[in-house]
């Protein structure tokens, strides 16, 4: 079951990339990251979630930024991942999202 979900997740991301649809890439990465985290594949989960955060920032997709950042922080803590510089950059991004959302 997990292998099938993994295949579908990668295929969804590939199709979204081919269509140049950033929001669909973001959703595909989030869903695949969830599957990877359940499987305990934390390094792959981190890579997918970092990509989601970058997509949110680069394409100004603020609706999913808090979800992506919270998930990434959870996986960082769970895996003992040391990320001083990228964490600071992503924390600043979260602050910008919060300010923009609040007006």
Return d(Cα 101, Cα 15) in angstroms, integer: 30
The residue ranges of every structural domain in the chain are: 2-102
Written as six digits, the tokens of 3 are 């292998």
pLDDT of residue 15: 97
pLDDT of residue 97: 55
Q: Could you say which architecture CATH assigns to the domain 2-102?
A: Alpha Horseshoe (1.25)
Cβ density class 32-69: b for 16+ within 10 Å, e for less: bbbbbbeeebbebbbebbbbbbbbbbeeebeebbeebb
Predicted TM-score (pTM) of this structure: 0.77
Q: Which is more confidently placed, 80 or 94?
A: 80
pLDDT of residue 2: 77
Please report the DSSP string for 18-52 in residue order. Answer: HTT-HHHHHHHHHHHHHHHHHHT-HHHHHHHHHHH
Q: Which is more confidently placed, 89 or 57?
A: 57
The pLDDT tens digits for 6-50 are 999 999 999 999 999 999 999 999 999 999 999 999 999 999 999
User: Residue 54 half-sphere exposure, CB side, CA atoms within 13 Å?
Assistant: 9
Say if residue 90's pLDDT is above 70: no
Return d(Cα 82, Cα 21) in angstroms, integer: 31
Q: With CA atoms as reference, report the closest residue to 66 among 83, 53, 81, 80.
A: 53
pLDDT confidence band for 85 (50 / 70 / 90): very low
């Amino acid at each position: 079951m997990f292998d099938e979900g993994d295949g579908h997740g990668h295929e969804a991301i590939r199709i979204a990339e081919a269509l140049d649809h950033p929001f669909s890439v973001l959703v595909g990465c989030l869903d695949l990251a969830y599957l990877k985290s359940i499987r305990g594949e934390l390094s792959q989960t981190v890579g997918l979630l970092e990509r989601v955060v970058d997509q949110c920032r680069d394409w100004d997709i603020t609706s999913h930024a808090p979800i992506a950042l919270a998930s990434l922080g959870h996986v960082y803590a769970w895996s003992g991942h040391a990320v001083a510089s990228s964490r600071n950059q992503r924390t600043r991004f979260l602050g910008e999202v919060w300010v923009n959302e609040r007006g």
